[in-house]
Amino acid sequence: MAVLNICLEGEKVLKMKAKPVSKVTKEIKKLLEDMAETMYEAQGVGLAAPQVGLSLRVVVIDAGSGLIELINPVIIEQEGEETDTEGCLSIPDAYGEVCRSARVMAEAYDRNGKKIRVTGEGLLARAIQHELDHLEGVLFIEKAEKLSRGEGSNA
C-alpha cells in the first residue's frame, strides 16, 4: 500500500466528470487500498479517485463504522434534508455549511465486482454525497453557505 498525493483546489482533475470503471482489475483493487491508506493518513472521512489525480468513479469512505469501497456509485434513494459543516482534503483551508439529504442509499460495485447497496444517515449520508459530488467535478465550496477560509477558521 502507498500514501498517494492529494490534489488541491485548482487542479483540473477535480473539475472533471470521472469516467466509469469498466472492470475491477488488480490495479483498481490496489487503488482502493492506496486510497484508503491515504484517507486514513490524512485523517479524512472519504476520498474520491479524482482527489488522487485519477478520473475514475472510485470512492472510499469511513464514517466511523469501517471502510466502505464503492466503484461506479450512484445514489438511488434520498430523503430529508440537513445542514452541517463540511471540509475537504483537497481544500484544507476551507469549511462551510452544506445542505444535503439526511438519508441516502447508494448502489455500487465492491472490489469483487459484486453489486452492493449502502444506506447512510448523518455523517455517512453526508460523506457519500460529498464523495459522489467529486465524481461529477463538483466541490463542496460550490454548495456551501457561510464559507470560511484560511488558518484559524474553526467552523
- Which domains are delineated in the chain? 12-149 (3.90.45.10)
pLDDT(97) > 60: yes
Cβ neighbours for 72, distance < 8 A, ≥ 6 positions apart: 20, 21, 57, 108, 109
- Spatial separation of the C-alpha atoms in residues 82 and 123, rounded to whole Å: 11
Q: Which residue has the cell 466502505?
A: 68
Three-state DSSP at 19 gives strand
Cβ neighbours for 43, distance < 8 A, ≥ 6 positions apart: none
State the pLDDT at residue 153. Answer: 38
State the pLDDT at residue 1. Answer: 78
pLDDT(155) > 70: no
Quick: pLDDT tens for 136-146. 999 999 999 98
Give the residue-averaged pLDDT of 61-72: 97
Cβ neighbours for 25, distance < 8 A, ≥ 6 positions apart: none
pLDDT(49) > 90: yes
Residues annotated as catalytic are 131
pLDDT above 70 coverage of the chain, percent: 97
State the pLDDT at residue 150. Answer: 77
Quick: pLDDT tens for 123-135. 999 999 999 999 9
Give the residue-averaged pLDDT of 80-88: 97
pLDDT(60) > 80: yes
State the pLDDT at residue 57. Answer: 98
- In which band, very low, low, confident or very high, does the pLDDT at 8 lie, cut at 50, 70 and 90? very high
Q: Which residue has the cell 498525493?
A: 5
State the pLDDT at residue 151. Answer: 58
